[in-house]
Homo-oligomer: A and B are copies of this chain.
Amino acid sequence: MERKPTEVRQEEIKKALLEIVDTEGLHNLSTRKLAEKVGVTEGALFRHFKSKREMILSIVDGVEEVLMKSLQTVAMSDASSKDRLFRFLCVHVSYLIENKGITMLLFSEAAHSNDSELKSRMLNVLNTQKQLAKKIIQDGIAGGEWDSSLQVENVATLYMGIPISLNIELVLNPLGVNTENFCKKMICLLERALMKSK
């Protein structure tokens, strides 16, 4: 019976929760499994969070504070659009790899949560990602780096599929997807689509 301060346990619980969502899916996330993974009883979980919902909301807090702030910083930096887009994707992808359950949690809660607060926060995260990508693309077109006949919206839509392509890739080919290579390959293709014709 090991005692730890609540801040430490909260982090352990959030980490274990994401691991379960990643390896077994949201529909297999139960407080029983979670307690087992953390190494405490179910009762102990509720000493640190008042409900399962609060655990998930606390994870969303982290996404907003860490991922979204980083993406914002990259999108607003003064590097070239090409560089910004590459770094944007790298930050995005490496966060999703470090926090593997996030993609499924984000996507399935954004689409299907009964909880309207949770749902709208998830939607906001997805929407903000897309808006930031649009900003970079718009800048690149306005600055003459990319083709002016492109529709920003469509490029951003294509971009939004990439992090999930990675997820499909990890499912189809679990042995290994090299993060950096993945980003380089995808950016290389995106860049081809973006560059000026002729």
Contact residues of A with B, CB < 8 Å? 23-28, 104, 107-108, 110-114, 123, 126-127, 130, 147, 151, 154-155, 157-158, 160-162, 164-165, 167-169, 171-172, 185-186, 188-190, 192-194, 197-198
The residue on B at minimum CB distance from A164 is B164
* Alpha-carbon distance A127/B171, docked complex (angstroms): 10
For A158, list chain B residues within 8 Å (CB).
158, 161-162, 165, 186, 189
Question: Contact between B104 and A189 (Cβ–Cβ < 8 Å)?
Answer: no
Question: Contact between A186 and B112 (Cβ–Cβ < 8 Å)?
Answer: no
The residue on B at minimum CB distance from A171 is B111
Known: A157-B165, A165-B157, A168-B126. A193 touches B198 (CB 8 A): no
Question: Contact between B161 and A168 (Cβ–Cβ < 8 Å)?
Answer: yes
Question: Contact between B171 and A126 (Cβ–Cβ < 8 Å)?
Answer: yes
New contact pairs (16) apart from A25-B113, A158-B189, CB-CB < 8 Å: A24-B114, A25-B108, A26-B27, A26-B112, A28-B112, A28-B114, A111-B171, A157-B168, A157-B185, A157-B186, A158-B162, A158-B165, A160-B165, A160-B169, A161-B162, A190-B193
* Alpha-carbon distance A26/B188, docked complex (angstroms): 35
